[in-house]
Amino acid sequence: MDDFFFGPGVVLITFFIAAAYSIYSFIKAAHLERMAKIEKGIDTNAPSNNNRYLDLKLGLLMVGVAFGLLLAYMLEKAFRIDELVFYPSFMLLFGGSSLIVAFFWVKKIRKNK
C-alpha cells in the first residue's frame, strides 16, 4: 500500500485534485461573467459566434492527426527505427498545421460572406 501511495498514487491524486479545481474555477468564472452581464443588462441568451465552423476545424484536426500517424508509421517502417518519438511529434506537427489551414480557410469563408 505504501508503494502505491508514494509512487503513482501521489501523481494520480494530484492530477484529480488539479482537474477538479480547474473545472470548479471554470464554472465559477462562467457564473461570475454571466452575473456581470445581467447587472449591465446584456442579453445572456444571445448565441455565441465562437463555435462557428467548429466542425470544419475538428475535421481538419482529425485529418491532420491521422495523416501524421500514417506518415510516422511509414517512416518507422521505411527506416526500420523502433523509436516511438515519431508518433507524438508527427501527430502534433500535422495536427497543428491542419489547425493553421483551418484558420485561414475560415478567414477566407468569412471574407466571402
Instruction: Give tens-digit pLDDT for 46-82.
Output: 666 666 788 999 999 999 999 999 999 999 889 888 7
- Cell 449591465, located at residue: 40
- Cell representation of residue 87: 508518433
C-alpha 92/C-alpha 99 separation (Å) is 10
Check residue 26 and report its DSSP letter.
H
Q: Is residue 97 within 8 Å of 64, Cβ to Cβ? A: yes
| Longest CA pairwise span in the chain (Å) | 64
Q: Are 83 and 53 in contact, with CB atoms under 8 Å apart?
A: no
Quote the CA–CA distance of 57 and 54 in Å, as a whole number.
Answer: 5
- Higher-pLDDT residue of 8, 32: 32
pLDDT tens digits along 16-44? 999 999 999 999 999 999 999 889 988 77
| Phi and psi, residue 44, nearest 5° | -85, -10
Which of helix, strand or coil describes residue 80?
Answer: coil
Under 8 Å CB-to-CB from 86, ≥6 apart: which residues?
72, 73, 75, 76
